[in-house]
Structure 1
Amino acid sequence: MDFSAVTAVLASKSYDKVADVCDNLMLQVAADGVAYQDEWPYAIHLLAHIYVHDINSARFLWKSIPSSIKETQPEVPAVWKIGQKLWLRDNAGVHQAIRAFDCSPQLQPLLAAFSELYTKEMFQLLLSAYSTISISDAALFLGMNEDDATNYVLQQGWTVDPASQMLIVKKQPVVTEQKLDPSKLQRLTEYVFHLEH
């Protein structure tokens, strides 16, 4: 079985494309009638869907994986544990499942990229949802211990209120850029000209 396309996209660190490459390859192999189940990189395929937050496709893939694979390839259920936590919106559980995952060197870069992406997404969620938050809650969302979480948010410009030991969120300024479409400007000019004459 030729998985060079999957290997190439992993090597290029185009992690957002891995799920599509795996899906297309799986369809091609199925159409050719080739038996592939024992060789298929299920853990990579499953994690790739999780990486792009396609939890429905990850669930479908999980259900289609033979139980013998789930029993003999421990990475597959370990990846699915992350998917389950995402499905349940258990933010701290996602980080715990990632930390508990002892994955192969082949899967490590994709897992690390997902972990970093998820931490950034959780930071953006905190940024948009809170004006103040406890250090312990921020640590749970970011999947870090309290010292690391505090250092992480301080680097982003947040501050710590010494009296309450609460993190004060530094909102990012909203930048709105208006782009002027020349055709709209022309129509507006013609409309105003028409009204005046």
Structure 2
Amino acid sequence: MDFSLLTDALASNSYEKIADICDNLLLQAAAEGVAYQDQWPYAIHLLGHIYADDINSARFLWKSIPSTSKESQPELVAAWKIGQKLWTRDYGAVHEAIHGFDWSQEIQGLVAAFSELYTKRMFQLLLSAYSTISIQDTALFLGMNEDDATNYVLRLGWVVDPASRMLTVKKQTIVTEQKLDATKLQRLTEYVFHLEH
């Protein structure tokens, strides 16, 4: 099996491509009747779906992985722990699953990139769901200690009340750009001209 596309994606930090590359290689192997179970990079494949925020595909992949691979590859099991926590929406435990395993050199970059991406997703969730939130809950969602979480959100404009240990969320203003369509402007001009005369 030629894993050069996968190796290239990992080397170039193109983590968003990993799930598709692995899915296509798996289909190709199945179509050619190639035995691949023993050397298949299941942990990378699973993490690729997790990175792409495709938890349903990660679940289906996990169910299709042979039990012998699950038993012999602790890194695969550790990757699935992340998927399980995402599936059950145990947001704080996702960070524990990420940091609770000593990832191989080959996977460290992917896991670190997912961790950063996940923290950003959690920040966006907090931004959209809360107007105030405790420092403790913020730290849990962002997978940081309380000081780091406070500093992280303060840099983004949030306000802290040290007495109550609450954070006031600063909603980001959404700038929408209106596009001027020349044909619509011409029709409007003609319409106004017609009304005036």
Q: If the TM-score is normalised by the length of the shorter chain, which range does it land in?
A: over 0.9
AA aligned to 2:75 is: E
35 and 194 in structure 1: CA distance in 2 versus 1, 3 angstrom threshold: farther
Within-5 A mapping of 1:24-173: 24-173=24-173
Q: Which residue of 2 aligns with 1:22?
A: 22
When normalised by structure 1's length, the TM-score is 0.94
Measured in 1, the distance between the counterparts of 2:50 and 2:56 equals 9
Q: After the TM superposition, which parts of structure 1 deviate over 6 Å for at least 4 consecutive aligned residues?
A: none
Measured in 1, the distance between the counterparts of 2:53 and 2:96 equals 18
Q: Deviations over 1:72-103 (max 9, x none)?
A: 01111111111111111110011111111221
1:30 shift after superposition: 1.0
AA aligned to 2:167 is: L
Q: Which residue of 2 aligns with 1:12?
A: 12
1:195 shift after superposition: 5.3
Secondary structure of the equivalent of 1:107? helix
Number of residue pairs matched by the alignment:
197
1:25 shift after superposition: 1.0
Measured in 2, the distance between the counterparts of 1:178 and 1:82 equals 41
Query: What's the RMSD between the two structures over aligned residues?
Result: 1.5
Measured in 2, the distance between the counterparts of 1:186 and 1:47 equals 53
List alignment gaps of at least 5 residues for structure 1: none
AA aligned to 1:182 is: A
Measured in 1, the distance between the counterparts of 2:89 and 2:195 equals 56
Secondary structure of the equivalent of 2:160? strand
Measured in 1, the distance between the counterparts of 2:18 and 2:181 equals 37
Measured in 2, the distance between the counterparts of 1:146 and 1:49 equals 30
AA aligned to 1:106 is: E
Which one is further off, 152-161 or 118-127? 152-161
When normalised by structure 2's length, the TM-score is 0.94
